[in-house]
Structure 1
Amino acid sequence: MFDMYSSAITRGWFSADAIAMWDDRATIKAWIEAEIALARAQGELGMIPADTHERMAAAVSVDKFDMDKMAADVSAILHPLVPFLRQFEAMCPDDVAGYLHWGITTQNIFDTGAALKLKRTHEKLVADLDHCVSVLASDARRYASTIQAGRTHGQHAVPVTFGYRLAGWALELRRQRERLVDASADALVGHFGGAAGTFGAMGGRGREVQQRASEILGLRPVRVPARSNFDGMANYMSALGVLAGLIEKMAVEIAFLQRTEIAEVHEKFEYGLVGSSTMAQKRNPARSNNIIGVCRLLKARIPILLDSLVRLNDADAATSNVADVTVPEVAVMGASLAEKLALVLSGLAVDEEKMLENFSLTNGMIMSEGIMMALAPAIGRGHAHHVLYDAVSQSLDHGQSFKTAILSHPALADRDGTLQLADLVEPQRYVREIVDWIEEQMVSLIE
């Protein structure tokens, strides 16, 4: 059966570390931690013997679980957790096993285990995003004055700088990083509410148990213990969807700028990389293309997770099962994107001369807005726009030089010699303020 995370063909698209955080061993480890934290909290509150959690920890380990038997038993009894509990109990002395899973239900362990795994993934994700932001901010300052053609709707528009483009990416990633941190408050939570989320089997100590068990695990207690509530996790997953959109935009731009006829940036190339099985000359933006693909896979899963918000009554396996499958996929993809983007950005090669060459393709027409605004105080913005529009038409349609077309326009006949066109087509004057803005914005983002 095909598995994109283990396939020899596709597993390189993803972070090996992130995959390991969500594999079966990691899941069993998280479930063990959740059960032991529960026993410790209940022991501290005098609900069960105080040493129960220590004896559990001494008896149970991931390596002792028979995963093949567990898989067979899950299929046989159609319950996802009971086979785990049976093996857990079998490892413990009888007087300890009797206190396992005290007062809670399967989904509590599933949801708390997922939060533990997501916590580790989130920490990796944030660290990788911080690295991306730092690289982008540093390069934004480095290329703050590097002139590049700004393009709108695929056409040359006005001068920008490559540093400006990178600065925008840095700030977008930083903002989304903060949104993810904010969203984690309601996603990285411990669930110990029991069968219907009412703490009914906890003898009146349920809130204390949930608070303490969550603290032990480094989680916050869930605000609403109802099993039908999924908004916190859905919000975090949606934030990963936005992150995927931002990263895809960056990767698409890098791939565009690496086109043969543009050639302004290139992914790091090392001898041995192959772009084609038949076209030896190809140096493709392979890493960016892989990132784009994973972004689209992630975004496609967000509507599925939003459907998981709709849960019948107090628990609904039909929808929670969907989340149990999709949350790990999205978490792995999100962490993978941050890791792979960091690799691309750290090795990006920038051809400043090619940027200037491309900028000059329109022979000064890219400076039309700047020239228009210089004329506007004397003849009005609308008239100035008309002058530039006519000049562009004369140049493109009749082969007249852009400079000549401007200076010979009837509206400027009495201004011969007063229009300093050479100064007006100097792009550095046009981008001066944005260069200052880059410095203001980026200095605080560099590690």
Structure 2
Amino acid sequence: MSVSIFDSFLTTPEMIAVFDDTEIVQGMFRFEEALARAQAAEGMIPDTAARAIASVCNAQLYDIPALVNASRRAGSLAIPLVKELTKTVALFNPESANYVHWGSTSQDVIDSAMALATGKALALLDQRLQSLINQLLHLAGQHLATPVLARTLMQPAQVTSFGFKLLNWTAPLLRSRLQLRTVAARALRVQLGGAVGTLAVMGAQGPAVARRVAQNLGLGAAEHGAWHTQRDEWVRLGLEIAVLAGSLGKIATDLSLMAQGEIGELAEPSGNGRGGSSAMPHKRNPVSAMIALAAATRTPQHAAALLASMGQQHERGLGNWQAELAEWPALFLSTHGALCALDEAMAGLHVDSARMLENINGLRGLIFAEAVAAYLASAIGRPQAHAMMEELTQQVMASGQDLATLTIAAIRKDPDLRDKTDLAHLQTLFDPVTATAAAERLAHQQLHDLQEAAAALELRAENPIPSNTEVSQ
């Protein structure tokens, strides 16, 4: 697969290789070999023909750029590929050439090859997901009690635990990992239906041949026949990739905001030219977040294109199936690039807990106003407590004093309130560590639950391909 220089920048060589032209063409040859062997096993074609076909199903024997060029005129890459395969078989065994691609159609070849490539792509994503999840869980365990500002509508809100925030990043990734395995088990199936999905040329032996082809390729057998225009499970898998990219974009958004110089709570690894500026030597750019944000920006359009392509006409789509094929690799290229970038960032993430505390203290106690109002409400009622804190916060903004000092002074001036208030307890409400306690308690339980869920996924270590490919004898 040829990608632009800017696409290459946002993905990985490993994922580019999965959808490389040679790999896709080899996947198509794997299908042709599996088809011939399955038909021979069912007595449809001679064993000699199956062996002759299999012996030349090697992409290295063919001029792939020429095949791609010819496909533009033919309307499908499978047409020139089958033509060249037939010619090559005929060079060694003219009689066997008659059995190439017997009873199949172009979409069978291409969809099956794409299913094979997608299985490899999912394995790459799963591996990186495991690494990123483990790193986030490890960081969360280290920072369960680390106070950090929670921000809502881009404004300081209250104090939370940084570990709690990390677990909020992690949970969607675990769900995506599980969901991708579940959806892949339904989507990664062999495509074999012949001209209009009926396996008419193969007759009664067609279903048995299809099961054998699936087994030979390590794909699931289609439960409800050919899925030529049944694109629901396939598109659903693509949409799950887009959801994963969105979750990575959420992490990247928070990371980039917390890494801003004015905030300075997090920083990506540096050194060896990483994150530098061509004009400003002082800069430490969050390049991992940048790559993940680019993926999150691009994937919705690819996902929308998949959805738009589902209205395929009758038994073979005209234009929409081809559009789907073109959009498909981009989802995986962007998402794997984002995963790898964030995985690298988390491996060397710098957490400045002192700066987190400094940012909390810099707000002069304003973020504790709700907790203080709730405490005072037991003494003077909720409306009066709310009004009192509203007035005091305005004084903080006007005077530059901190809310704790002003609140204690106001209580001491009011004999009735002073008698009903425990000033020592009130002081603890302005303590960031105390304020973190609620988030820390939740984070402890969530960490345990997410660790168990992650371990369960590893213990299962299942192949996401269904095991319903038994061959009838």
Q: Same fold (TM over 0.5)?
A: yes
- Residues 346-394 of structure 1 deviation map (CA, whole Å, 9 limit, x = unaligned): 1211111111111111122212222222223333334332222222112
The residue number in structure 2 matching 1:5 is 3
Segments of structure 1 that go 5 or more residues without pairing to the other structure are none
2:102 is aligned with 1:102:
yes
The residue number in structure 2 matching 1:303 is 304
2:127 is aligned with 1:127:
yes
The residue number in structure 1 matching 2:422 is 418
Are the aligned partners of 1:27 and 1:113 in contact in 2 as well (CA < 8 Å)? yes
The residue number in structure 1 matching 2:188 is 188
Segments of structure 2 that go 5 or more residues without pairing to the other structure are 459-473
Equivalence map 1:151-230=2 (5 Å):
151-224=151-224, 225-230=226-231
CA distance in 2: counterparts of 1:118 and 1:287, whole angstroms: 25
Q: 1:130 to 1:79 in 2, by over 3 A?
A: closer
CA distance in 2: counterparts of 1:216 and 1:306, whole angstroms: 31
CA distance in 1: counterparts of 2:382 and 2:38, whole angstroms: 73
CA distance in 2: counterparts of 1:338 and 1:54, whole angstroms: 42
Are the aligned partners of 1:143 and 1:161 in contact in 2 as well (CA < 8 Å)? yes
User: 1:60 deviation in Å?
Assistant: 2.8
Equivalence map 1:112-151=2 (5 Å):
112-151=112-151
Q: 1:10 to 1:219 in 2, by over 3 A?
A: closer
- Residues 206-258 of structure 1 deviation map (CA, whole Å, 9 limit, x = unaligned): 22222221122121122332421111111111111111111111111111111
Equivalence map 1:321-360=2 (5 Å):
321-360=322-361
The residue number in structure 1 matching 2:71 is 74
User: 1:145 deviation in Å?
Assistant: 0.9
- Residues 70-97 of structure 1 deviation map (CA, whole Å, 9 limit, x = unaligned): 1342244444211111221233222332
305-314 or 427-436: bigger deviation: 427-436
Return structure 1 stretches of 4+ with deviation > 6 angstroms: none
User: 1:10 deviation in Å?
Assistant: 4.5
Sequence identity, in percent?
A: 26
Match of 2:15 among 18, 31, 50: 18
2:52 is aligned with 1:55:
yes
Give the letter aligned to residue 423 of structure 2: L
User: 1:414 deviation in Å?
Assistant: 1.9
CA distance in 1: counterparts of 2:275 and 2:261, whole angstroms: 16
Are the aligned partners of 1:35 and 1:109 in contact in 2 as well (CA < 8 Å)? yes
User: 1:69 deviation in Å?
Assistant: 2.4
User: 1:423 deviation in Å?
Assistant: 1.4
Give the letter aligned to residue 290 of structure 1: I
User: 1:115 deviation in Å?
Assistant: 0.6
Are the aligned partners of 2:275 and 2:286 in contact in 1 as well (CA < 8 Å)? no
Q: How many residues align?
A: 444
2:428 counterpart SS class: helix
Give the letter aligned to residue 431 of structure 1: T
311-320 or 415-424: bigger deviation: 415-424
Give the letter aligned to residue 158 of structure 2: V
Give the letter aligned to residue 257 of structure 1: M
User: 1:404 deviation in Å?
Assistant: 3.4
2:388 is aligned with 1:404:
no
Equivalence map 1:227-266=2 (5 Å):
227-266=228-267
CA distance in 2: counterparts of 1:235 and 1:220, whole angstroms: 16
Give the letter aligned to residue 140 of structure 2: A
CA distance in 1: counterparts of 2:69 and 2:401, whole angstroms: 80
Are the aligned partners of 1:387 and 1:409 in contact in 2 as well (CA < 8 Å)? no
Give the letter aligned to residue 289 of structure 2: S
TM-score, length basis structure 2: 0.88
Match of 1:44 among 41, 48, 54: 41
The residue number in structure 2 matching 1:88 is 85
1:315 counterpart SS class: coil
User: 1:51 deviation in Å?
Assistant: 5.2
Q: 1:4 to 1:279 in 2, by over 3 A?
A: farther
377-386 or 316-325: bigger deviation: 377-386
Are the aligned partners of 2:365 and 2:402 in contact in 1 as well (CA < 8 Å)? no
40-49 or 301-310: bigger deviation: 40-49
Are the aligned partners of 1:73 and 1:83 in contact in 2 as well (CA < 8 Å)? yes
1:191 counterpart SS class: coil
1:185 counterpart SS class: helix
1:18 counterpart SS class: helix
CA distance in 2: counterparts of 1:37 and 1:27, whole angstroms: 15
User: 1:55 deviation in Å?
Assistant: 3.5
Q: 1:240 to 1:269 in 2, by over 3 A?
A: same
Are the aligned partners of 1:136 and 1:167 in contact in 2 as well (CA < 8 Å)? yes
The residue number in structure 1 matching 2:446 is 441
Are the aligned partners of 1:237 and 1:327 in contact in 2 as well (CA < 8 Å)? yes
Are the aligned partners of 1:148 and 1:161 in contact in 2 as well (CA < 8 Å)? yes
Q: 1:102 to 1:400 in 2, by over 3 A?
A: same
CA distance in 1: counterparts of 2:62 and 2:205, whole angstroms: 31
Q: 1:392 to 1:110 in 2, by over 3 A?
A: same
Give the letter aligned to residue 5 of structure 1: V
- Residues 305-359 of structure 1 deviation map (CA, whole Å, 9 limit, x = unaligned): 1111011111122111101111122222222222222112212111111111111
Give the letter aligned to residue 118 of structure 1: T
CA distance in 1: counterparts of 2:73 and 2:404, whole angstroms: 82
CA distance in 1: counterparts of 2:381 and 2:184, whole angstroms: 53
